[in-house]
Amino acid sequence: MGYGNWDDTAYRAGKTYRARQGVDDFGYTAEMRAKPYDTWCAHPLLDPFGVGKRECRDSAEHGNSLPVAVLFDVTGSMGRVPRIMQDKLGKLHGLLKNKGYAQDPQVLFGAIGDADTDRVPLQVGQFESDNRMDEQLRAILLEGGGGGQKSESYELAAYFMAEHVATDAWDKRGKKGYLFLIGDELNKPRLAARHIRAVIGDHVRRDVSVESIYRELEQRWHVYYILPNQSSYYRDPEIAEHWTALLGQNFLKLDDPGAVCELIALTIGLGEDRIDLDTGLADLRDVGSSDEADAVGRALGSKPGPTLRALPPGR
Amino acid sequence: MSPMFGDRHLVVVDLGFGDAGKGATVDWLCSPEADLGVAAVVRFNGGGQAAHNVVADGRHHTFAQFGSGTLAGVPTLLSRHMLVEPIALAAESEQLAALGVPDPLGLLAVDGRALLTTPIHIAANRAREDARGTSRHGSCGRGIGETAWYALENDAPTVADCRAPDVLRAKLDRLAAHYEDLIGPSAHGYESVDALVAMYRDFARAVRITGPAELARLAQAGRLVFEGAQGVLLDEWRGLHPHTTWSTVEPRNARAMIRDIGATAAVLGVTRTYMTRHGAGPLPTEAPLGFPEPHNGTGHYQGAFRQGHLDPILLRYAIDVCGGIDGLVVNHLDVPGTLCAAVAYETSTGRTTEVVPGRWRDLDHQQRLTDQLFDATPILAPIETDPAAWLAERLRVPVVLTGHGPDRRDRATDSGKRAAEVGEQGRIGAHVP
């Protein structure tokens, strides 16, 4: 009936849409936004409470399953990065397969918040190898909370991955999976028993040291921490020192968060000895990801050879 | 109000020719005051020509493609029955952002099967209306008719095509070739297909494009409100032919979608206490009532905004072609003076008190109704009681919501009214006329 904008052009519209690119709002977040905050909860697909085990199993056609878990921080300090993760990570499985970096990858996605202040401090999906991965990504709630004290509940996620995941890769082949935590803050000072009880439902009575939960985790997982640019603490030396102390050279800084899939894929390809770094970066340029290649090259320290070298902290 | 609807989804349709207050109704249904647990607003007909006014919390917006629940923070699904126009959609999202809605495009999901209205359709629409000269149909000039019409015979561009530039380009080239003879000599044009393809790709990257499972997913999260556009008397098959819109306005498509997800619906019919109409076509009770109309002016293509006395004969017809409705929403109860209503029509073949529906899709019958109404002189009688109660009795449908002004706080339910009458602080701030 009435209509106002007679001079709208494709260019102007395109500008509006470009301003929002990579900000695909996965419906569950929009759904929750429409409700009072005190009713927000994890999507049933991703609720870690009382789940028993998340399983990564071989199947008839995929007899060599490789577990890959990616959990990203969704608190406010991460800025737009969680949106970019949601948008980009859907490509990860295809990238691993197409490049032959992993034979039968199965990917699990999850999200990390602050168990002291958030409604939904932990979300963990299932290991998937098809388009159900997209569904999981869409179902991740981007709460955007956090407590403002420069720490998030990564150690709670680490506990879940250590205690509530079973993989054929480990059970049958003694092979470690790959776990990537993406965030920009510190662990909580201790893994709090009350957080475990409230969020995961295990009847744990005593707090656990952060150091010990990562040691346990590393028995069955290659654990990486990725600090992406565009988050609040990208240049904060305290963050780099904290994670380097825990994970050594598996602390990685990524200056273009849009290259997260490429960094993860290449890291796995290197870890599996499927590729060397220069070939991997050349692969990326071949598929037109030259900006991503540059970012990944910087994150991994572009030097041939199967070993990874992280950037020195604080650069 | 909730007990009345139970867990049914709600369908909101306009029983007249549009402009009766669907926007204000949907906004209220989505508001915290109503407390109906609405998870999403679903558009099920029409396109970017809708103009649903919402005034809430000191903000005013005329909703075209976004659902009227947006100011209440409720997401919108543009279903496959909607004609989507991304250029106007971008402009509307900017307007909403300026009103303080955070990330409006984030509140949007679009079914990939929905047809795309392009600048080519719009140019064709305007060229055709110009060529019609004085015998205009009352089009909005937004390309709605062209979009629907072209898609009947051709492989028309859809929202999903925006993700496949090569497919889209081929379809746009064919569309442009199809309309060359009409648009070429006219005063209208459009940007290059290349520019359009680039913009549509940006559109597809910025909004969430969904498939058939989306509706059930949203319904799991809460109640759905299906927001109709235009009015039932403009329906493509049930309206007063040829002064109709290229869209199924009556709720059959909404009902079918709700049936498909195994749920049930309550249909709410919206009317003012008098009739209105944009542009050409019959309006038997037309009179210079002079009620103020802040949001509706004369459109270059759709013609003047007209008013007429309340016409329960036409409203009854609208209810019949909706397959019955479950509740009435009566707006504009704040207009001053005594209202009149048509009790019968005098025609050259005698007196009549009803407009009889024909078979669905019988345009000859619809043309006869149009002729009958052009030939009708209404017999008017004053309404001596509360118009909402009068309408409920005359149309045999309960009134579930009344509007006493443009603002969200001007809506009242029966319970709200009663609360106001017994002197409580009604949450809705009803002021009963």
Residue B3 has pLDDT above 50, yes or no: yes
In a domain, B281, yes or no: yes
Does residue B433 fall inside a structural domain? no
**In this structure, are B82 and B178 located in the same domain?**
no
By the 8 A CB rule, do A192 and A209 touch? Answer: no
Cβ distance of B89 and A35 shorter than 8 Å: no
Smallest Cβ–Cβ distance between A10 and the set B51, B73, B191 belongs to B191
Radius of gyration of the CA atoms of chain A, in A: 20
**Residue A229 resides in a domain:** yes
- A2–B51 CB contact, under 8 Å: yes
Q: Based on the fold, state whether residues B257 and B158 are members of the same structural domain.
A: no
Are A3 and B48 within 8 A, CB to CB? yes
Tell me if B358 is assigned to some domain: no
Q: Is residue B189 part of a domain?
A: yes
Please list the residues that pair with B306 across neighbouring strands.
B277
Q: Is the pLDDT of residue A52 over 70?
A: yes
Measured in angstroms, the CA of A21 and the nearest CA of chain B are apart by: 5
Q: Taking the CA atoms of chain B, what radius of gyration do you get in angstroms?
A: 21
B357 lies in some domain: no
Residues B226 and B192 in one domain: no
Q: What is the CATH number of the domain that holds B155?
A: 1.10.300.10
Domain with B182 in it: 116-207
| A64: in domain | yes
pLDDT score, position B302: 64
- Whether B236 maps to a domain, the answer reads yes
Q: pLDDT tens digits for B287-302?
A: 999 898 888 766 666 6
Residues B396 and B390: their CA atoms lie apart, in Å, by: 10
The DSSP code for B118 is -
Q: Does B71 touch chain A (CB under 8 A)?
A: no
Which of A14, A26, A33 lies closest to B202 in CB terms? A14
Centre a 10 Å sphere on the Cβ of residue B299 and count the other Cβ atoms it contains: 21
Compute the distance between CA of residue B408 and CA of residue B26 in angstroms, rounded to an integer: 10
More confident position, A293 or A56: A56
For the stretch B380-422, pLDDT in tens is: 999 999 999 999 999 999 999 999 999 999 999 865 453 343 3
Q: How confident is the model at residue A26 (pLDDT cuts 50, 70, 90)?
A: low
In this predicted structure, what is the pLDDT of residue B299? Answer: 62
Q: Is B218 on the interface with A (CB under 8 A)?
A: yes
Is residue A186 one of the residues assigned to a domain?
Answer: yes
CA distance B51 to B184: 30
- Those residues whose C-beta lies under 8 Å from the C-beta of residue B343, and which sit 6 or more positions away, are B353, B379, B380, B381
Q: How many domains does the structure of chain B reveal?
A: 2
Tally the residues of chain A. Answer: 315
Residues B122 and B182 in one domain: yes
Based on the fold, state whether residues B263 and B307 are members of the same structural domain: yes
* pLDDT value at A140 more than 50: yes
- The dihedral built from the CA positions of residue A83, A87, A93 and A95, taken in this order, carries a sign that is negative
- Is B348 inside a domain boundary? no
Catalytic residue positions of B, numbered: 19, 52
Q: Are residues B74 and B99 in the same domain?
A: yes
Give how many domains chain A has, as a whole number.
Answer: 1
Q: pLDDT tens digit string along A155-211?
A: 999 999 999 999 999 999 999 999 999 999 999 999 999 999 999 999 999 999 999
Instruction: Answer whether residue A1 is part of any domain.
Output: no
Residue A44 counted as domain residue? yes
Expressed in angstroms, the distance from the first to the final Cα of chain A is: 57
Same domain (yes/no): B317, B260:
yes
Same domain, B217 and B106: yes
* Alpha helices, H only, B245-311: 252-260
- Please indicate whether residue A305 or residue B323 has the higher confidence score (pLDDT): B323
For residues B52 and B100, membership in a common domain is answered with yes
Secondary structure letter of residue A197 according to DSSP = I
Strand intervals (E) in B150-230 = 208-210, 223-227
pLDDT digits (tens, 9 = 90+) for B53-101: 999 988 999 999 999 999 999 999 999 999 999 999 999 999 999 998 8
Contacts of B221 in chain A (CB under 8 A): 31, 34
**Which of B207, B231, B254 is where one domain is finished?**
B207
**CATH number, residue A163:** 3.40.50.410
Residue B41 lies in a domain: yes
> Average pLDDT over chain B, rounded to whole?
90
Residue A98 lies in a domain: yes
CATH code (residue B219): 3.40.440.10
Residues above pLDDT 70, as percent of chain A: 89
- Alpha-carbon gap, residue B248 to B243, rounded angstroms: 14
| pLDDT confidence of residue A312 | 43
Task: Tell me the pLDDT tens digit for each residue of A245-271.
Answer: 999 989 999 888 888 888 999 999 999
Residue A139 is part of which domain span?
A: 8-300
Q: What is the pLDDT of residues B115-155, one digit of tens each?
A: 999 999 999 999 998 888 766 655 678 899 999 999 999 99
Q: Are residues B102 and B137 in the same domain?
A: no
Sign of CA dihedral A60, A62, A68, A72: negative
- pLDDT level of residue A93 (50, 70, 90 thresholds): confident
pTM surpassing 0.85? no
Last residue of some domain: B180, B207, B234?
B207
Is the CB of residue B90 less than 8 Å away from at least one CB of chain A? Answer: yes
B19 is in an annotated binding site: yes
B interface mutation test: which of A1, A32, A33, A40 has the most B CBs within 10 A? Answer: A1
Please, how many CA atoms are within 13 Å of residue A59, restricted to the half-sphere of its CB? 11
Asked whether residue B66 falls in the same domain as residue B80, the answer is yes
Residues B237 and B155 reside in one and the same domain: no
Q: Which of A313, A312, A310 is nearest to A297 (CA)?
A: A310
Tell me the count of A-B CB pairs closer than 8 A: 133
